[in-house]
Structure 1
């Protein structure tokens, strides 16, 4: 019996590749510019992707496709309607990067609240004079940070990652609130999270806001200029979810004018941002290249889980 053919649009961790190679024929491509793409997809029984867009055209190019595997949590880069119409199963790895992203949120929160980038920049720029105590100059330069304990964390979305952030924040002495119309107040209460009935209420009562929503047209610009203005003076925003959730121009303005103390942005719309994009060069904004989930542990888990899911679906369709 001819083994199933699995195409990896991009390389994944060797542990996942090994699982696939044990029972299937695997082709590893170098992305959508790989000249082998169309031929490989035309012969593939399964396609595994990371963040690359899988549109109706690519799906139509694979008449044998039975499974699409998403190496990651979100599915907004896959045309689910086209996949369903073609009878193609879609699998993902919804919890594989939970811990890594939650740690990114907490880590960047510390950087922002403690003003780490600001004080390092001032030190490198020679803002501190000799002959005077450094702590006193930190105060005089307006570079004093805040204690994490006692601050209010607001989660926009209380799924697996949001809950993982909440656990860590609670351990640090923060109070945690969340807005998520799909999670009951009772379920949040069991986790020590206070449920908010509106996004506006959450924003107005949070010193740190972290976004944990899927993308999509209905979520585009959900953090608008008007909503950002509801956040208390000195608050910070962290977005490690989807770039389209935030009005970037409004965010830059809020940080530049001091309405917000800072922000951490790990996702963009589009990706990557242009080298001269203002978001990359605004003091007070930590911009990182969609790397919150990029830890050795998470990458191995994602590879193993997507390979396992794809193989399970192939076995089921063979039966």
Structure 2
């Protein structure tokens, strides 16, 4: 019998597991759960005889992939997939997929929620500022970026976007102002919402020179990956510009220095929380299950991310 593993050190909500089970068992497959594990050896043992696997933030390293003797398809329930060793998958003929769009609204709501929180000074009783009338820049106009833009317009913000992979006409059709360069985006906007992936071209690309282009009171909002931030440059900017603030869905490695020196000018969630809603949890899990079934039954590689 075809076997599908859900391997999650941060488990899906019970409703999501039940929904995944309906899809997997409805296809005549067996569902296996590995939840809240603490040792990589548990994951390596669990993958030994499975045909499909759904993970969240779990590390599908080369060691894990090579231990999965029957694995045909692995799905990351979420947009980012830098936790999968794509080269190892390709070498073994395993299809790696993500579930783009399923977490997008949850991430976008978090981005705007963190902006409001910092704008109102953490609700500490002091006067803050409003988002209405401010410029917000969307750095990468994908699924999450589109949701951020839509919500920001509801706040009365003016929305700009930069994405060299999206046609200017498509961006402007959404009522968003498309800019030609990343420098123009940062120099124009009070807030920049960051949605770029972490890869060889983007890691540490958000640096001092780029951030220093932002207007007075500039705030960077990062719900992407911490690796895209040049932390040394960020700390220098925080020191040089007392007006600048940083919000992130994942704490930087230098978080202790922020806590010691920049109180009131930053906010970091205790863990990556963009997808932590009941709806996103269920949507991404169901999408992952359906993608595994569709690949095994029909060879559907729509969301494949490896070559």
The aligned counterpart of 2:21 is: 17
Question: For 1:1-319, what aligned pairs fall within 5 Å after superposition?
Answer: 3-10=1-8, 11-12=11-12, 13-14=16-17, 15-22=19-26, 23-29=28-34, 30-31=36-37, 33=39, 35-114=41-120, 116-117=121-122, 120=124, 138=126, 144-268=127-251, 277-279=256-258, 282-283=262-263, 284-288=265-269, 289-316=271-298
Give the TM-score normalised by the residue count of structure 2.
Answer: 0.87
Q: Distance in 1 between matches of 2:179 and 2:146?
A: 15
Instruction: Decide whether the 8 Å contact of 2:43 with 2:64 is kept in 1.
Output: no
Distance 1:231 1:279 in 2: 20
Q: Which runs of 5+ in 2 are unaligned?
A: 301-307
- What TM-score does the superposition give when structure 1 sets the normalisation length? 0.83
Q: What does the per-residue CA deviation read over 1:114-170, in whole Å, with 9 as the maximum and x for residues that have no partner?
A: 3x22x61xx5xxxxxxxxxxxxxx5xxxxx432322111011100011011111111
Instruction: After superposition, give the CA deviation of every residue in 1:221-257 in whole Å (9 maximum; x if it has no partner).
Output: 1110111111111111100011111122332443355
Deviations 1:77-100 (A, max 9, x none): 212222122221222211111111
From the superposition, tell whether residues 57 and 313 of structure 1 become closer, same or farther in structure 2 (CA, over 3 Å).
same
Larger Rg: 1
Structure 1 residues without counterparts, runs of 5 or longer: 124-137, 139-143
Count residues with an aligned counterpart.
289
Rounded Cα–Cα distance in structure 2 between residues aligned with 1:291 and 1:176: 24
CA positional deviation for 1:110: 1.2
Q: In the alignment, is the contact (CA less than 8 A) between 2:206 and 2:229 conserved in 1?
A: yes
